[in-house]
């Protein structure tokens, strides 16, 4: 017996992959056609069950280089047509072995289209994947209905600060990444510039940050409700007052908004995919972006200090902000892609320019 039980009592049956188990998590769906390995290892998916809308998954296998972190952060994965065979010149193992080795509850043969439509109509909710005979549908429903949300960023953040890149040029600008669940792709993109890069835990205080003497701070992506990131919000507020350049990505975007006095709100089913059109408010240019978020900044709560720079063309929600009184801006998405298009890589260049300008002045 293998099935997915939603908190509203809807059940979807499928075929179990791996060892008998069960898993709880917030139900989300991702519309990307490629990049399943990057998605599964993205810390932003911590505590979530991912429904992949692309029917055929697993055909290119997996490899160590494409991991966005050291492990799979999703608690479960759902597929329509799971491929047990793979073929790609970069592949090192099968997706099936990858999921089994990380003990991830997985179902194949799920009607992923029907599940996606259900989540779009009914909204985000908890799900329970069951691949063992020891959990009945009644028990699974109880577990799904009594699953409690919690602060997640602290669970995926580094526990100790570390140096990621240190150029030979001692006069290089120093960027500190506040790790709320940072993807490796973000660090790799930053490392393309001749700057010193340090990574700090999300619990870092202003006093501790001062010891790094940062020329700029990047607030990373991460999982969960941004209002639970109290320490990072407080830190960001102090950074704004001190005029230190800030770049917020995804969760970091929401944290910047909260620190500036705005509010955030839960979306009905979120934005998760690599095909999301974004409009630049200043130029009218349209970009295709990679998105992964279940919360947005509430436009009605924006203080006068925040200016909207980008909007989603799917639903008009805020996709980018800039602070009018401080060198701080943010993007509600993933300009580094991994997976997805890299049309918004220019945002990293914009951040580095502001950091280097601040360093000289």
> Does 222 appear as a known binding residue?
yes
70-89 core/surface letters (b: 16 or more CB in 10 A; e: else): eebbbbbbbbbebbeebeee
Is 250 one of the annotated active-site residues of the chain?
Answer: yes
> Does 18 appear as a known binding residue?
no
Active-site hit among 118, 293, 323, 334: 334
> Does 295 appear as a known binding residue?
yes
Q: Can you say whether the dihedral through the CA atoms of 33, 37, 40, 41 is positive or negative? A: negative
Q: What is the dihedral of CA 184, 34, 57, 93, to 10 degrees?
A: -40
> Does 292 appear as a known binding residue?
yes
Length of the chain: 361
CA distance 226 to 232: 9
> Does 251 appear as a known binding residue?
yes
Is 336 one of the annotated active-site residues of the chain?
Answer: yes
Is 334 one of the annotated active-site residues of the chain?
Answer: yes
> Does 21 appear as a known binding residue?
no
CA distance 248 to 329: 6
> Does 115 appear as a known binding residue?
no
Active-site hit among 38, 202, 336, 354: 336
> Does 44 appear as a known binding residue?
yes
Active-site hit among 118, 250, 293, 323: 250
The CA distances from residue 38 to 91, 111, 180, 204, 249, in Å, are: 14, 23, 17, 27, 17
Hey, which residues are catalytic here? 250, 334, 336
Annotated binding site for L-glutamine: 44, 222, 224, 251, 254, 292, 294-295
Annotated binding site: 44, 222, 224, 251, 254, 292, 294-295
């Amino acid at each position: 017996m293998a099935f997915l039980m939603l908190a509203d009592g809807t059940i979807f049956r499928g075929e179990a992959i791996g060892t008998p188990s069960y898993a709880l998590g917030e139900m989300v769906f991702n519309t990307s056609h490629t990049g399943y390995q990057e998605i599964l290892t993205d810390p932003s998916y911590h505590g979530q069950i991912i429904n992949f809308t692309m029917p055929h998954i697993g055909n290119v296998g997996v490899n160590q280089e494409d991991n966005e972190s050291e492990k799979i952060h999703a608690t479960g994965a759902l597929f329509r047509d799971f491929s047990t065979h793979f073929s790609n010149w970069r592949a090192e193992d099968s997706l099936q072995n990858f999921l089994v080795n990380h003990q991830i509850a997985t179902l194949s043969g799920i009607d992923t289209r029907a599940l996606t439509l259900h989540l779009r109509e009914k909204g985000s909710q908890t799900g329970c994947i069951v691949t063992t005979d020891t959990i009945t549908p009644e028990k699974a429903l109880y577990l799904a209905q009594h699953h409690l949300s919690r602060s997640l960023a602290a669970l995926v953040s580094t526990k100790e600060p570390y140096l990621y890149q240190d150029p030979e040029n001692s006069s290089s600008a120093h960027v500190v990444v506040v790790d709320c669940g940072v993807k490796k792709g973000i660090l790799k993109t930053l490392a393309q510039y001749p700057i010193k890069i340090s990574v700090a835990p999300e619990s870092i205080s202003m006093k501790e940050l001062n010891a790094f003497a940062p020329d700029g701070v990047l607030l990373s992506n991460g999982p969960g409700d941004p209002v639970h990131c109290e320490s990072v919000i407080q830190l960001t507020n102090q950074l704004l007052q001190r005029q230190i350049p800030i770049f917020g990505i995804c969760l970091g975007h929401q944290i910047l908004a909260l620190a500036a006095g705005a509010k955030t709100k839960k979306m009905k089913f979120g934005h998760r995919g690599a095909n999301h059109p974004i409009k630049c408010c200043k130029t009218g240019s349209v970009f295709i972006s990679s998105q992964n978020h279940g919360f947005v900044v509430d436009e009605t709560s924006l203080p006068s200090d925040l200016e909207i720079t980008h909007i989603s063309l799917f639903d008009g929600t805020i996709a980018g902000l800039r602070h009018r009184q401080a060198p701080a801006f943010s993007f509600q998405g993933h300009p580094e892609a991994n997976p997805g298009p890299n049309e918004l890589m220019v945002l990293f260049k914009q951040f580095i320019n502001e950091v280097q300008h601040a360093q000289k002045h």
